[in-house]
Amino acid sequence: MKNQNEAKSKKRKYSIILGNLGNTCDRFLSSGYKDPLDKELMLDQAASIEGVTGIELVGTWDIDDKSVDKMKTALKSRGLVCSSIIPDLFARKQWGEGALASASASIRRQAVAEVNTMTDIVVELGGNLINIWPGQDGYDYPLSADYLQERRWMTESIAKCVEHAKKKRVKIALEFKMKEPRTHSYLARTADTLLVAKDIGESNVGVCIDTGHSFLAYENVGESVAMLKMAGNKLFHMHFNDNFGSWDDDMIVGSIRLPEYFEMLYWMEKTGFNGWFSMDQYPYREDGYGAVRSSVLFLQRMHKLLDETGLDKVEELIRQRDPVATSAFIRDNLIAQ
């Protein structure tokens, strides 16, 4: 059993969004509450966390077509790989009224071009995943958006990105979030994001679940994982953080929810997820390295408990459909004695 558990542990791939280690900013203090960190130092910090082998980059923030060689060397020298690139479709003035779903055909073309450029770069870095979060594609007020037309534009734009990515053998994961920066996002939940992926109909387009976004949408992440399995293995990527359920607080993983994390990791194991376990936090005031490391350690601990418990025992518990038995299981297995 020990050898089997060690083999499972080696298969799991832990990753960090690079900027999480630095000076993250909120809407009240644009300069952030900490001093900026050099990218080289952040990469050193990431590489020092046991089990972390991947770095997720944000386009233009961390990488552009002029810095590819430098980043490739920096990653290789630390034994890291590019787990994904997130194109910046959310933090530039030009996207203020939408990117992939913008009413401006010129802006939509620019958004597609941005994704396609990052697709080319991820291939140069040896990666094969682009994670699209269309944060500005949505609306704020009633009677201010053409839902039919704008959703069509968004799907058509994503389809163009998917077509380009397919030629490069790159997968595209669509990340949903109910709100922020818009009051309503077109990709808001697991199901409506899956509908877009299914409508496009290509094998290289799927879904990224950000746990905090899913909690915000009052979803059970374990159920969402199962749903995407049923839809044809459409879970492509995972972002991990925590919150209280009313906002995307991007807190340390496991600081709020414990049973839900154990359950979602069970379903990821049960459904054969083999992608990245990527940390996506905004430690505004906390030490970035300490906060991200805590998240990685929590997930590794949950994975260890899952391996020690065994899928069979969890399946037996689920078959009982008995909340009292579940409560006893949590006490006996998830809480340190």
Q: In what helix (H) or strand (E) does residue 158 lie, and over which residues does it extend?
A: helix 147-167
Residue 179 DSSP label: S
CATH number for the segment(s) 2-309: 3.20.20.150
Instruction: Provide the pLDDT for residue 116.
Output: 98
What token pair was written down for 268? 């990821």
HSE at residue 291, side-chain half, CA atoms within 13 A, is: 25
CA 290 to chain centre: 20
Q: In order along the chain (337 residues), what is the average pLDDT of each group of 10 residues? A: 53 96 88 91 98 98 97 98 98 97 98 98 98 98 98 98 98 98 98 98 98 98 98 98 97 97 98 98 95 98 97 98 97 83
List, in sequence order, every residue forming a beta bridge with 235; answer none if it has no partner: 207
- Domain ranges across the chain: 2-309
Strands 235-240 and 81-86: unpaired
What is the predicted pLDDT for the residue at 26? 85
d(CA 88, CA 135): 9
pLDDT of 8 reads 56
Give dist(CA 273, CA 237) in Å, integer: 9
Nearest CA-CA partner of 254 in 313, 296, 208, 210:
296
Host H or E run for residue 265: helix 259-270
Say if residues 89 and 133 touch (Cβ distance below 8 Å). Answer: yes
**Which among 158, 144, 175, 299 has a CA at the least distance from the CA of 248?**
175
Q: Are 78 and 72 in contact (CB under 8 A)?
A: no
Q: Which helix (H) or strand (E) holds 276?
A: strand 276-279
Distance from first CA to last CA of the chain, Å, rounded? 23
Q: Residue 118 has what pLDDT? A: 98
Q: Nearest to residue 27, comparing CAs of 183, 181, 134, 139?
A: 181
The reported pTM is 0.96
Q: How far apart are CA 221 and CA 237, in angstroms?
A: 13
Residues 52 and 15: beta-carbon distance below 8 Å: yes
> Per DSSP, which regions of 211-271 are E strands?
235-240
- How far apart CA 31 and CA 34 sit, in angstroms, is 8
81's enclosing H/E stretch is strand 81-86
Q: Three-state DSSP class for 240?
A: strand
From the list 42, 38, 138, 161, the residue with the least C-alpha distance to 90 is 138
pLDDT of residue 27: 80
